[in-house]
């Protein structure tokens, strides 16, 4: 499409103006600009480029295909299963549910391939909670509407206990403690989260499980479940999680699939039987290998 900028339209940012012309989101327009599919007077421009009178604006913005969660044949470790729910051990590197950028190959795709149908949101069917892509560990998934509702209520009431194991840089001053810091989008980087004044309440309890020379293994208990919560809180403490490129840095020498963080324990009352389930999953081999390297360096 081509548009000649009038005097009244001049002074506007390119991304804002193209979004207004097309009726599409600024995110889609930003993608088009990055591809070089938006030009002014024949030359690619930045999203922040300010338009001038008589500029010749040309643009081609692709509309995303609607996201659909499809069944896929993907092996996924099952730790517990009955007629109402299933507990899976998600590997690091697997996205929990479809999203733009990860429309397939997710945990939800794998679950649909195994179970057929799940209740709730079309893109997040059966999900009671989520894990970051590069965090491994336990997730409980509901098989029917009644279980999904009951587990959702239990999660909001903090009746589902979640514990994580993580390897971090440095050794915290205190053997146990609590980080209480509201979490929201990082004002300086919209791809990250941070402790911000107007964020959502977030509380992480930690305990030093073992101290090494320059690292430690910590046990985490969550009161809340904000996006990237443990990673944000530990980075704020000055003890970022090992191999976390977002809040710390990449450490390829440890050959980890993601950050050294594993959801190892899940405890809750079964909504149908009333029996308390206490399910554990050992960290993956890559995590244990990284831990062993830290231990060897300490002994050396």
The one catalytic residue among 132, 134, 180, 186 = 132
* Helix or strand (DSSP H, E) at 216: strand 215-222
Q: How many Cα atoms within 13 Å fall on the side-chain side of residue 8?
A: 0
Q: How many Cα atoms within 13 Å fall on the side-chain side of residue 11?
A: 3
Can you say how many angstroms the Cα of residue 14 is from the centroid of all Cα atoms in its chain?
Answer: 30
Q: Helices 14-22 and 26-34 sit at what angle, rounded to 10 degrees?
A: 120
Beta carbons of 272 and 147 less than 8 angstroms apart: yes
For the question of residue 83 being annotated catalytic, the response is: no
Distance CA 160, CA 223 (A): 9
Cα angle vertex 44, ends 38, 192, to 5°?
Answer: 75
Distance CA 279, CA 78 (A): 11
Catalytic residues: 132
């Amino acid at each position: 499409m081509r548009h000649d900028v009038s005097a009244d339209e001049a002074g506007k940012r390119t991304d804002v103006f193209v979004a207004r012309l097309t009726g599409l989101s600024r995110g889609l327009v930003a993608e088009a600009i990055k591809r070089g599919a938006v030009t002014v007077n024949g030359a690619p421009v930045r999203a922040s480029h300010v338009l001038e009178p008589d500029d010749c604006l040309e643009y081609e913005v692709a509309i995303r295909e609607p996201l659909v969660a499809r069944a896929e044949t993907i092996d996924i470790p099952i730790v517990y299963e009955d007629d109402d729910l299933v507990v899976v051990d998600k590997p690091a590197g697997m996205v929990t549910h479809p999203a733009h950028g990860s429309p397939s190959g997710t945990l939800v795709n794998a679950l649909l391939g195994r179970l057929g149908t799940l209740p709730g949101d079309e893109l997040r069917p059966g999900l009671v909670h989520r894990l970051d892509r590069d965090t491994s560990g336990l997730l409980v998934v509901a098989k029917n509407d009644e279980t999904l509702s009951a587990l959702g209520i239990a999660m909001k009431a903090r009746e589902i206990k979640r514990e994580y194991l993580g390897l971090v840089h440095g050794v915290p001053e205190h053997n146990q403690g609590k980080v209480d810091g509201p979490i929201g989008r990082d004002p300086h980087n919209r791809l990250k989260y941070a402790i911000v004044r107007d964020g959502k309440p977030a509380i992480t309890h930690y305990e030093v499980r073992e101290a090494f020379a320059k690292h430690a293994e910590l046990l985490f208990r969550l009161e809340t479940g904000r996006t990237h919560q443990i990673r944000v809180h530990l980075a704020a403490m000055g003890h970022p999680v090992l191999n976390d490129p977002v809040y710390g840095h990449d450490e390829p020498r440890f050959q980890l699939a993601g950050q050294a963080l594993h959801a190892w324990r899940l405890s809750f009352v079964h909504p149908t039987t009333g029996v308390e389930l206490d399910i554990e999953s050992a960290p993956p081999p890559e995590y244990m290998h990284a831990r062993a390297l830290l231990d060897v360096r300490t002994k050396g």
